[in-house]
Homo-oligomer: A and B are copies of this chain.
Amino acid sequence: MFSELLKTNGYAELRRVLGELNPADIAEEFEDMELSDAVRVFRMLPKDAAAEVFAYLPSGIQQGIVEKIKDFEIKNVVEEMFLDDAVDFIEEMPAGVVKRVLSNLEPGKRDIINQFLKYPENSAGSIMTIEYIALKERLTVREAFDKIRAEGIDSETIYTCYVTDSERRLLGDVSVRALLLAPPDARVTEIMDTSVVPAVTTDDREKVVGGFRKYGFLAMPVVDNENRIVGIVTVDDVMTVQEEEATEDFELMAAMSPSDDPYLKTSIFTLTKNRLPWLMLLMLSATFTGAIISGFEESLATIPALVAFIPMLMDTGGNAGAQSSTLVIRGMALEEVETSDVLRVLWKELRVALLCGTALAAVNFARIVVMGGDVILSITVSLSLLSTVMLAKTVGCILPIGAKKLKLDPAVMASPVITTLVDAGALLLFFAMAKALLGA
């Protein structure tokens, strides 16, 4: 749409359209345009809209634009952006671009950004912003509104203000709702809520998401080790983090290294790089399962029919284990399951495994017998199936909890790893049963 207006020199119309669109929608249009066209349109945006649109762009296009615009334009955009958006942008840029961007900022802004870049990845500090309103404890409601009116336009959220003492230590928070409903001469300390639960800069960002989930915050203050407020995390950023964490788990659980980029924007080399090491590792592990089969070649030579049950046993074991590990991994991500629950989980899973395994074994027994199979053979297969399901569900619930206990990401212990392990166990069980019951 923009490109056509550019071609026909419909600048007035273009300006009108830009004025009506939401910055997120303008950014979306940019993604499908030639970079040179996007830069032309970008330069037509007013300063504040330009900064907003820029914050919504994927980092590839951000870099393309920065490389084409002048130093003073970079300064305008970055200084107009909210600090958290500016930090997100700079974190994704190559070193040369970072240097050029930082050298064009005012020293104060540069220092703050440099400090933010130092917070550990995935910490509360790395997702917070400094555009919040702090109210000194002696202020009245009327004075608080004056301060909000004076500073509000630059604050990421004005709906929660933070009351501090003279040393910037956090005393409580007060919502604009409470301020609006209070008498103008009341002190903010009289109406503030002291039950506020702050995050510390070094807290894991998942803990921050947990806080929002539990309390339904719009914003959460972040303090340093001496309880001095240094920033806030806002709900829109938390929604993004929540979705990124879920995506990361989906990818890990399907044996891929997680990536932040949208699928269609990821190159095939990156996709391969994220997938191949896992496939390789799991392929080599699966050769051990093959070695187990080789070890029982004699049994298979005696009763060739055994081999036909291998896929069913392996698949059912893998599926049963994946069910358990998925519920446990997700439960831990949502803080519903703790590592200390390991025995409760195991006890639950063993009973579910017994119920599921018995039903599956019964149907399997009936199927083999109805189709004219040998009764002892079908007993062998059904008992192997039941024990495989029991084993799979045990492994499936224990491994993710164990991983968490070892401070690893539990999502690694998902379907692919469980399947590979359970396959080996299923075959060992199967051949042992065959030896015992069929003499194979």
Q: Enumerate chain A interface residues (CB-CB to B < 8 A).
A: 20-22, 24, 28, 145, 148-149, 152-153, 158-159, 176-177, 180-181, 195, 197, 212-216, 218, 235-236, 238-240, 242-243, 246-247, 249-251, 253-256, 262-264, 268-269, 271-272, 275-276, 278-280, 282-284, 286-287, 289-291, 293-294, 297, 300-301, 304-305, 307-312, 314-316, 318-320, 322-323, 325-331, 334, 336-337, 341, 344-345, 348, 351-352, 355-356, 359-360, 363-364, 367, 385, 389, 415-416, 419-420, 423, 427
**Secondary structure class of chain A's binding surface, majority of residues:** helix
A300 touches B307 (CB 8 A): yes
**How far is B21's CA from A275's CA once the two chains are assembled, in angstroms?**
47
User: Given A195-B21, A318-B318, is A309 in contact with B290 using a C-beta cutoff of 8 Å?
Assistant: yes
Measured CA separation A198–B251 after assembly (Å): 33
Taking a contact as CB atoms under 8 Å apart, the answer to whether B216 and A279 are in contact is: no
Q: A242-B242, A282-B316 are in contact. Are A149 and B180 (CB under 8 A)?
A: yes
Which B residues are in CB contact (< 8 Å) with A325? 254
**Given contact pairs A181-B153, A337-B263, A355-B272, A315 touches B283 in the complex (Cβ within 8 A):** yes
Of the candidates B176, B278, B304, which one forms a contact with A319 in the assembled complex, judged by CB atoms under 8 Å apart? B278
Task: Determine whether the beta carbon of B300 is less than 8 Å from that of A294.
Answer: no
Give the complex CA separation of A197 and B289 in angstroms.
56
Name the CB-closest residue of B to A328. B263
A176 in contact with B159 given A320-B279, A416-B322 (CB within 8 Å)? yes
A256 and B323 in contact, given A181-B153, A268-B355 (Cβ under 8 angstroms): yes
